[in-house]
Structure 1
Amino acid sequence: MDDRNVLNSQETFTRAVQFIWREAEMLDRREYSAWLELWDPKGHYVVPIDPSTTDFAAALNYAYDDQHMREMRVQRMTSGYSASASDAARTVRTVSRFTLSSDAADTVEVKSAQIIVAYKRGANTIFAADLTHRISFASGEPKLLQKVIRLIDSTEALSAIGFLL
């Protein structure tokens, strides 16, 4: 690999990490409409139950949202008519341990770790997950093609996940 490709790869990785941090901040601030704009229309938001599954369409998931389902989820969360909207947890995310797992011509896949502290009704709940973001740079602006959130306790009974991870 020549020096120019290394620099382009490093710049793309840096842009991807900044994009992931921006996404986390949007979710903490409940900027769900702006979050929807981060997505490629063909993208999928995935929270699998089985931590080792790769065939999300054929597996049971907490979430497997295409564009329509993401929009419906955001509508429920912002309408005020669901419990998750009227009594939503306040969250603070920390995303770290970034690694570039693939770097194609216009798409990167970045793996990271995420800790979310959710505060609701006087109690803090901690969620830990391994994340995989597949991000396209084909249009010049980054767009999410896929976000997979592998909760470390996904096979246990989970409660209080009435917000976007």
Structure 2
Amino acid sequence: MTEPTVLTAPISTTDPRVVRAVELVWREAELLDRKAYVDWNALYAGDGIYVIPVDPSTEDFAGTLNMVYDDARMRQMRVTRMIEGYAIAAVDAARTLRTVTGFVPRSVTDDQVELRSAQVLVAYKRGHHDLWAADLVHTIRLSPDGPGADRIVRKVVRLVDSEDAVPAAGFLL
């Protein structure tokens, strides 16, 4: 005889720790849409990782192919390229607008929140719109100093079409 599955109550999105995490994710989207890349990078913890895997089901980001796998050093190099104007992607960057919604807390402790959400990004460049859709997972480190000191420890962007040919993105997802 098998044991019945015990379902745990979902974590409320009104939990103050979850609210802090959601607000940080929205702040991140706002900074990216405004091309405030230095401020965006400052939202990440020193040990933070920003990753866009090709394989939509992988958890082994270091051992599999990724479109982006940025630690602090790589994020800083990317930001430098974006703001100094030497990269063609920075000179002729698309205008973007992100909608991040459908937040589902996966785990919550007093010092960390893991949060899943959905992102739709519209990019406009030279009379053409591109649509990017992704499942996001953010791991947010909550600071005892308050919400202004919370940091992103990991952001995983799983594009819904990651296994197909993906158009070039001169912006951060």
TM-score interval, smaller chain: over 0.9
CA-CA distance at 1:53 after TM superposition: 0.3
Give the structure 2 partner of residue 3 of structure 1: none
Distance in 1, matches of 2:46 and 2:38, equals 14
Q: Do residues 49 (structure 1) and 91 (structure 2) align? A: no
Give the structure 2 partner of residue 76 of structure 1: 81
- Structure 1: gaps (5+ residues): 1-5
Give the structure 2 partner of residue 161 of structure 1: 169
Mapping of 1:16-35 within 5 angstroms?
A: 16-35=21-40
User: Aligned partner of 1:100: which letter?
Assistant: P
- Structure 2: gaps (5+ residues): 1-10
Identity, % of aligned pairs?
Answer: 50
Give the structure 1 partner of residue 72 of structure 2: 67
Q: Do residues 146 (structure 1) and 151 (structure 2) align? A: no
Distance in 1, matches of 2:84 and 2:144, equals 32
- Matched pairs, number: 159
Give the structure 1 partner of residue 105 of structure 2: 100
CA-CA distance at 1:105 after TM superposition: 2.9
CA-CA distance at 1:81 after TM superposition: 1.1
Distance in 2, matches of 1:67 and 1:13, equals 25
CA contact (8 A) 2:99 2:119 kept: yes
Give the structure 1 partner of residue 7 of structure 2: none
Distance in 2, matches of 1:41 and 1:12, equals 21
User: Aligned partner of 1:104: which letter?
Assistant: T
Distance in 1, matches of 2:167 and 2:126, equals 14
TM-score (normalised: structure 1): 0.93
Distance in 1, matches of 2:20 and 2:171, equals 26
Cα deviation, 1:72-103, whole Å, max 9, x if unaligned, reads 00111111111111100000000000010011
Distance in 2, matches of 1:78 and 1:138, equals 29
User: Aligned partner of 1:42: which letter?
Assistant: D
CA contact (8 A) 2:17 2:110 kept: no
Mapping of 1:93-132 within 5 angstroms?
A: 93-132=98-137
Which protein has the larger Cα radius of gyration, Structure 1 or Structure 2?
2
**Matched residue SS, 1:58:** coil
TM-score (normalised: structure 2): 0.89
Structure ranking higher in helix proportion: 1
